[in-house]
Each structure stands twice: as structure tokens, then as C-alpha cells.
Structure 1
Amino acid sequence: MDDLTRVGAYREAGRVRCDLRPGALSPRVLSTGRRTARVALVATRALLLGGDHVRIEVHVGEGVELELVEVSGTVAYAGRGRSASWDVEVRVDAGALLVWDALPFVVADGADVERTTRVSLADGGTQGDRGVALLRETLVLGRTGEVGGRLRSRTRVDLSGPVAPRILGGVGGTGESAPPGGSRRAWQEDPTRPERVRELFVEDLDLADDRTLPGILGESRVVDSALCLGARPPATASEPPSTSAPSRPGPPALTGPLRLDLDGPGVIARHLGASTHDAGIDAVVAAWTTAARAARVTDPPGAAPPPARGAPSTADLPETRTTLLTTGA
């Protein structure tokens, strides 16, 4: 079964509007603000079964902060000879932030899973103009007492810019954003200014039967990672020094998640172990989220509130109050 779930968050008329399409996951708005949105992802059925092909598309419009909240983890069950796939496509526009602290992805005995994550970040040349994605990926091989099935996990992250979209319908230069193919505005890319795309991070983890060999995973069954893409936050107390410049030869003595600074604007924290409880990634994600939010460009003091629409503005509502401004199937 091929199921597409789509989540989009865009600034429009001084507030955030969400475009949601349910599929294998049902996106539900938890709250919105002038520049923020929180959306829950709820499974609509048992996931993943053999033959399932789940696709998730996420688009964060310019200047918007979107937080995705998973209600439960995912278990890939024995496929009885059939494989399953989990495909995520993310686009983060200039000045936008995506926070997705995903719950564990468990590969049970007999499962055969292809997992792909593609992220495109708008790069305006400076941190304030660059899209930032903070992702959590916890891969667990087997349930309690199991060895776990086969998993191949691919990740590709690109920086693209400058992006030169042309929004038809009289909106432009206002700091607003709109969905491609949206119902109220058409979106086109300027063909005279092609995007410059460069790779930020590429990884291919083929965790087949030989993963238990020394030098691969050995006795570890959990690969817990936090990825901060588009920015490089300072090291936290739970991270050992970065491996980009080792101080002495030989393997480092790890006291927490391993920090890997990318060549471009980004960093990865990773833990290999027997369980998720001792990974230390939770503290890293919390610290990086705080740093990413603090670095965002906010409205200048004295900025005008959004225009009235015959109802209280979301600027007057607490961030935790649910405001339904959604469209889509």
C-alpha cells in the first residue's frame, strides 16, 4: 500500500496556516502562533507491514517554525517475504526551522525495510537566512529478545540557494510564504535563476545480517542520532569533544554521544548501544532546540499585529491554545 502524508506550514496574512493531507499518518494541529505551529503525527493503522510504502512530505515556509510531534513509535513487522519502505521528503525555506524529535523506529525479526530521508535547506548565505532542520532518528534492531530484521537507511541533505520563487497573486517581499500549488496562490520558480545545490550530508547505513560483526555494530542494537542541519550549535555538557580534530591517536574514550561536525553548517550526535535509555541524546536534542530557536530572526520591536479577520488574532492567544487554520484533504 502506497500512502502519502503531507504537512505544510506557511505564513499568510500575519499568521501560520497549515496544509495537511492524511495518509498512513494523520497530521493534526496542536497549536499555532504568528510564526509557529505544532502538528502531531498519528498512525491511522498498524505500521509497518510487508508491502507498505509510506511517504511523508514536509514543507516549512519562509520564517516559520514547525514542530512535529509523534504520538507513538513505529514497528516494522515481519513482512512474510515482502519488503516495506519509509520515505521522508523535507523542504525548509529561508529563515525557517523544523524540529522533529521522532520516536524509536523498531525493526522486528523478519522485517525488511528501506528507509530514506531527503532534506533540502534553503541557503541564503547567512545563518539567519538559512533553513534549519533538527531531526531525531532512533533505529532499534529488534524488540526485546529479538535480533531484528534487515534495515537500509539512507540520508541525503542538500543546501540550495539562492532560491528565487515568484509568487503570483500580488504577494511578494512581505516575509510571507505559500505552498507550491496552493489553492489560493500559484507558485513558480524563476527559470532564469536556477538553484545552486550542494551536498551537506550523505549517509547510507546497510544494516543487514553482517551488522553484528566487529567494527560494524557488534553487540549494539540501537543507533540513536540527532541531526542539526543548517546550523552548528555549541557542544553540550553531555557531548564529548568533536571528532573533527582528535587530540590523540586511537579511538576516543566516549562518555556520551559522539559529536560529528560536518564540513558545512551542521552537526550530528550519535550513540550506539544496547538500549535507548542510556543514549544521552535527549539532552542533546533539548539543548540544540533551544539554541536553534534562540538564533532565529524574530519580529522587530513594535511590529504591527496581523490584520483582524473578525476574530481574535492568534497573536493574542497563548502558544498552547489550539488554533485550527488548516486546509487540505
Structure 2
Amino acid sequence: MTRTRVAVTPDGRVELDGDLVRARRLPDEDGRLRVALVASQALLLAGDDVRIEVDVAAGRALEIVEVTGTVAYDMRGGHASWIVDVRLAADAVLVWPSLPFVVADGADVLRLTHVDLAPGARAVLRETLVLGRSGEAGGRVRTTVRARLAGRPLLVETFVAEPASVLDPALLDGARCLDTLLVLGARLDHPGALQLEREGTMLRAMATRAHDADLGGVVADAVEAATFPGAGRTEVVPPARARARRGALAVPTASGHADAAVTSAVTPAGAPAG
């Protein structure tokens, strides 16, 4: 197991620790402390067990920057895991717009993301899954997100994709990329968004190529929503940029796919975490 820890203390210091995935301090920006995650060798290979822990003290804001995307390589019967554990104290903010996570042929990956938000805390998280490199169908990936706000369940979602022997290798109605943007602890008003029962919003786009499913243009609006004063307690007024782009997203969805090759389940806010 390899462990990386990023912690922002109450007095604003940043504590960093890690080996396979190293954390490096970056210049602050827009009032947020910034930390880069840099892989010290090829990731992910069979047997890799990556654990990333993020702690942000009350009232502090942190942005995590990924220098490169991640490729899960052919594991030849093995498997790997990528586990993220986030804890945000009261009124803390985390922005983490991760780069594409590519699941190559022969890969078998478990991804778990746990987010625990204290009252008033907000998070903006982005995950882009790409099934296969160019010309590949992609391996198997299971990704689960569990979020809690003020000690109560906010979101539980599990998505599974695996090779299909008789189906077209391009899954999800012809798409190979699933781009998901989560705003937790605040709301982002955007057409086609899934609004959680409590403070939270999910946006999703699918495409045949990662850059075509790009939600990057909406990330700025999501960050604005998460950092808007009082955003964790009331619905946020739609940012001007989001209003100007109404209808720009592809196919936002939180439902399962009919094919056995892909399954997805979402538990909205207030439901048992299981």
C-alpha cells in the first residue's frame, strides 16, 4: 500500500506526505491553498494500492491539481485500487478537478471516494473515466462515491464497466468516456443537472473521446457556487457563465445502462449509505 496525505491545519499550514504519489506545494490562487499530485513512477500497475487522504481545517480552502492523468495498465489477471478519503471541517472548501483516468485493456481497478463534510463545508470534484486507450475496448473498473454532510448521507453512487465480449466495445450508447462533476454542500443551477435532495449537484456528460465530454468549462461555475458566501446553506443563484451556456452539456444521466457490460446505481440524499 502507498499512502499520500495532504492536510491543511487551522493556522493555514500545509502538511504533505507521500511516496508513490507525491504532493508538492504550488503558489496560492484565488484565496485557495494549492497542492499538486505527482506520480513518482508508472501508475497503475497490478498490485498497486494507492491511498490519498485529504484533511482541510475549518474555514480553509484547498485546491488539488493533478499534473498528468492516470493510466491503469494491463494487469494480466491482477488488480489495483485507488482510494481517496476526504474530510472537510466546518466551512472548509475543496476543489479537485482531476484529469482523465484511463482504464486500458486488461486492467482491473477499484476506485473508492469517501467525502465527509462538516456543516458549511463544500467540495467540487471531477472524475473523467476513459474506457481504453486508442483502439482499445478498456478493462474493468468499479468506482464508488460516498458523501456525507453533517453526519448524514448525501450521495452514494456505484458505477461498473467491464469488457463486453458480444457487445460493441464502445459502451454507454457509443461513448467511451464518462465525465462527472460533483458539487457537494452547495448547489449549481445548470440545465440537465441532477439536484440531490440535500445540498448537492451532479453533472454528467458522455462522449467517444475525453475532450469531447469536457465539463471543464463548467468547473469555474461550480467553484463559484462552492465559494459563494452561504452556499452551503442556501441554493446558489445561477452564475452568469452557466446561464449563457444552457443546453451545452451532452447527456447527463444518473441511471443504469441496459447492457450487462455497464451498471450504475445512485442513492440520493437522505437514503441509507448501505
TM-score, with length taken from structure 2: 0.79
- Contact kept, 8 Å, 1:69 with 1:100, in 2: the verdict is yes
- Contact kept, 8 Å, 2:187 with 2:225, in 1: the verdict is no
Does residue 233 in structure 1 map to residue 167 in structure 2?
A: no
- 1:217 Cα deviation after fit: 1.4
Partner of 2:223: 289
Instruction: Map 1:208-247 onto structure 2 (within 5 A).
Output: 208-210=162-164, 217-235=172-190, 241-242=191-192
Partner of 2:41: 45
Partner of 2:136: 146
- Contact kept, 8 Å, 2:74 with 2:107, in 1: the verdict is yes
CA distance in 2, matches of 1:30, 1:41: 10
Identify which of 7, 27, 51 aligns with 2:23. Answer: 27
Identify which of 119, 122, 131 aligns with 2:121. Answer: 131
Identify which of 76, 80, 84 aligns with 1:80. Answer: 76
Counterpart residue type for residue 228 of structure 1: V
User: What are the Cα deviations for residues 213-252 of structure 1, in whole angstroms up to 9, with x where unaligned?
Assistant: 79x71321101010000100232xxxxx34xxxxxxxxxx
CA distance in 2, matches of 1:116, 1:198: 18
- 1:295 Cα deviation after fit: 2.5
Counterpart residue type for residue 183 of structure 2: C
- 1:294 Cα deviation after fit: 3.1
- 1:210 Cα deviation after fit: 4.2
Identify which of 86, 89, 92 aligns with 2:85. Answer: 89
Q: What is the percentage of aligned positions where both structures have the same residue?
A: 48
CA distance in 2, matches of 1:213, 1:276: 18
Partner of 1:4: 3
- Range 32-41 or range 271-280, more displaced: 32-41
Partner of 1:103: 99
- 1:280 Cα deviation after fit: 4.1
Counterpart residue type for residue 121 of structure 2: G
- Range 270-279 or range 139-148, more displaced: 270-279
**DSSP-derived class of the 1:11 partner:** coil
CA distance in 1, matches of 2:95, 2:230: 13
CA distance in 1, matches of 2:93, 2:79: 33
Partner of 1:193: none
Which structure has the bigger radius of gyration? 1
Counterpart residue type for residue 223 of structure 1: L
Partner of 2:55: 59
CA distance in 1, matches of 2:111, 2:30: 34
RMSD, aligned CA: 2.1
Identify which of 267, 291, 299 aligns with 2:201. Answer: 267
- 1:107 Cα deviation after fit: 0.3
Does residue 205 in structure 1 map to residue 159 in structure 2?
A: yes
TM-score, with length taken from structure 1: 0.66
